[in-house]
Structure 1
Amino acid sequence: MTKKIEMTISTRIFRLQYKPNFQVQLNQFIMKTRQISAWVMAGMVMSTMFTACKKSDDVAALPPIGGYNTSNDVAASNLKAHWTFDGTNNEAISGTAPSNSSNASFGTGVKGQALQLSSGYLVYPTISALSSTSALPSVTVSAWINLANNNKTVSSVFALTQALTAQGDWNQGPINMYVETNAHPATSDTLQLHGAAHTYLNGNYGVGVDNVNAYGTVGTDFQIVKGINKWVHYVMVYNGSASTFDVYANGQPVSNKNFQKRTLPDGVTPVGNLTMSTPTQVVIGSMPNSGVGYTNSAVQSWQGLYTGLIDEIRVYNNALSATDIGYLYQLELAGR
């Protein structure tokens, strides 16, 4: 472009030499040429800046966390059930709606909206992805909880159960994920998380495995979870290959190390992969008992209904690694 301008100047000078007022016209021409060059350069700069800005806008605003852009990317192929509670209580993958509910509404969640229960619950019919004998050989259940202690009853977050008419006692599972809100005074900031899984042998109840962030020496055997009336990321993991059970809070392991390895009643044989008793159902906010339709499971005095918020329940058919649990926590905390 500069070369063209120089050629133009030379040509115009040659022509002007044979006209009157040559010097005046030449000066005017040079000034105009300088203005044009300035405009051209400014245009080029602005174009470059615009292009750079546009290119930046095309790139994701936030960098990946652990290689994941959103929480839905974590172990995506193993995610078998997901409750977002964003204006709906339906399970997101299957679209299954609750068959029974009480005192359930929506509040502000970690991501969008959350389930708000006031001594309430949701009961679901069978969700096919969770209802085969080998549906969950290993299992991870994650959820965000926001509640307080009551010093009276436990608060069940999530339970995968037998059918309403088949469930015997509450602890015949196959999955229970709850908070022992009866273990501490209502003013205490300590949450006692308790996860449990159950396997069936030859179609009959076999053995239960569980873990709780209590017993033994604090800081050595287990970790205290502080967090009433604020969001806590609660994850329970049973690894069928290793026969281990772990509980995490806010991306960190908190369960009792003395109860991590699980064996059959002989104390030697590893429990191994979980076997389900089918069909299964899901209840959120209550233990499976007659108060919510499980006719053969009596309500016990220590069993209450959930009061507080629950968000982003996820069920995986594998044992998430500690690293992925940390990424899941960070992504959901960031609203991603």
Structure 2
Amino acid sequence: MITSGIVLTSCGDDDGGGSSLPPIGGYNSADEVGADNLLAYFPLDGNGEEIISGTMPNNSSSVSYIDDAIKGQGANFNEGFLSYPSISALSNTLNSFTISTWAKVTNNGQSGSVFFTLTRPNEWAGNINFLAETGWAQPTSDSITVKGQIVSNNELAWQDTRNAIKVSPEDAEAGQVAFPNKVGGQWMHAVLTWDGATRMFKVYVNGQKISNPAWEERGTPESPAFLFTTPTYPVIGAFGTTANGTATDAWDKGLMGQLDEMRVWNKALNGADINALYELELAGR
């Protein structure tokens, strides 16, 4: 008699006592990416706490929390914002930085969609601004322009970077590159990097660099430093003038959209780490 048996294989226990998932880009979780340089982390899990410093918003408007976000809960903004007191890690000049967030926005034809700003006193544009230009595109288009802007109090002055939805044949011959970024109404992983040593200012979406290379090198070798105007405080979802009630322009509104998993580092993450961060957070890790 031949007795047939069942061969069992084990994939590890579900309670965390078994084998772990394989690393992505050399990391087991998003928390490991740039860990030594992480300044601020806003998980947006049911509240607006910045968990490294334990800072809660001191002012907010029209923000609720949703369950169907990228990792845990996320924040839904109905022309809303979260405004914070000064956070010491974000109060000094960042000669290099990375800002990462998940965002879901659409072109609204009325106002920009601000993800994050570090304010300047009595000015709408902060020292650092990260946003989507949803008010300056065709309202029916699913292409989203993602933009970074820095405003320095030295000769570096105003500098920005963004993707070009399209470029002319002449611009293409000159090295400009279009990236339509058709993510309107979808979750996108948006990242802004500034490298003070190379003066390169870049935008990434869903692990890919999308900024037009013609607009990435900023400043001059004679004036490479980026200097804050202080005091400064972080705002999620609006410019400082909206958050402090002094906005006078119709386009200066709170965010209409959703955000999740916002982080700030004091270094420019490289492309490999940004792609790993995207894949890890997309996998809920």
TM bucket by the smaller chain?
0.7 to 0.9
Change (3 A) 1:228 1:50: closer
Does residue 221 of structure 1 match 2:177?
yes
- Within 2, Cα distance between the matches of 1:190 and 1:316? 28
Change (3 A) 1:62 1:217: farther
Q: Deviations over 1:87-133 (max 9, x none)?
A: 1211111110101001111012100100111111111000011112x
- Within 1, Cα distance between the matches of 2:56 and 2:42? 10
Does residue 309 of structure 1 match 2:263?
no
Unpaired runs of 5+ residues, structure 2, are none
Change (3 A) 1:181 1:61: same
Does residue 178 of structure 1 match 2:131?
yes
Which amino acid letter does the alignment assign opposite residue 208 of structure 1? W
Contact persistence 2:99–2:193 (CA under 8 A): yes
Q: Deviations over 1:11-68 (max 9, x none)?
A: xxxxxxxxxxxxxxxxxxxxxxxxxxx9xxxxxx99x9699967xx744431000110
Q: 2:143 aligns with which of 190, 193, 200?
A: 190
**1:325 alignment partner, SS class:** helix
Which amino acid letter does the alignment assign opposite residue 77 of structure 1? D
Change (3 A) 1:271 1:238: farther
Unpaired runs of 5+ residues, structure 1, are 1-37, 39-44
- Within 2, Cα distance between the matches of 1:335 and 1:210? 31
Contact persistence 2:203–2:209 (CA under 8 A): yes
Cross-structure match for 2:83: 123
**2:89 alignment partner, SS class:** helix
TM-score normalized with structure 2 length: 0.88
CA deviation after TM superposition for structure 1 residue 259, in Å: 1.1
Cross-structure match for 1:281: 233
- Within 1, Cα distance between the matches of 2:149 and 2:231? 19
**1:89 alignment partner, SS class:** coil
CA deviation after TM superposition for structure 1 residue 85, in Å: 0.8
Cross-structure match for 1:34: none
- Within 2, Cα distance between the matches of 1:52 and 1:315? 35
CA deviation after TM superposition for structure 1 residue 270, in Å: 5.2
Q: Deviations over 1:149-176 (max 9, x none)?
A: 11111111100113xxxx13223x2100
Does residue 67 of structure 1 match 2:21?
no
Cross-structure match for 1:78: 37
Contact persistence 2:117–2:234 (CA under 8 A): yes
- Within 2, Cα distance between the matches of 1:139 and 1:189? 29
Which amino acid letter does the alignment assign opposite residue 282 of structure 1? P
Which amino acid letter does the alignment assign opposite residue 252 of structure 1? Q
CA deviation after TM superposition for structure 1 residue 286, in Å: 1.0
- Within 2, Cα distance between the matches of 1:326 and 1:124? 29
TM-score normalized with structure 1 length: 0.75
- Within 2, Cα distance between the matches of 1:61 and 1:325? 22
Which amino acid letter does the alignment assign opposite residue 183 of structure 1? W
Change (3 A) 1:76 1:270: farther
Which amino acid letter does the alignment assign opposite residue 181 of structure 2? V
Does residue 241 of structure 1 match 2:191?
no
Matched residue count: 274
CA deviation after TM superposition for structure 1 residue 206, in Å: 5.1
Contact persistence 1:70–1:331 (CA under 8 A): yes
Contact persistence 1:262–1:271 (CA under 8 A): no
Larger RCO, structure (CA 8 Å, separation 6 or more)? 2
- Within 2, Cα distance between the matches of 1:59 and 1:239? 40
Contact persistence 2:12–2:19 (CA under 8 A): no
**1:190 alignment partner, SS class:** coil
Q: Deviations over 1:197-238 (max 9, x none)?
A: 22233xxx8512211112634985231111122100111111
CA radius of gyration, larger in: 1
CA deviation after TM superposition for structure 1 residue 145, in Å: 0.3
Which amino acid letter does the alignment assign opposite residue 98 of structure 1? P
Does residue 138 of structure 1 match 2:89?
no
Q: Which 4+ residue blocks in structure 1 deviate beyond 4 angstroms? A: 48-54, 217-220
Contact persistence 1:141–1:235 (CA under 8 A): yes
Change (3 A) 1:242 1:206: closer
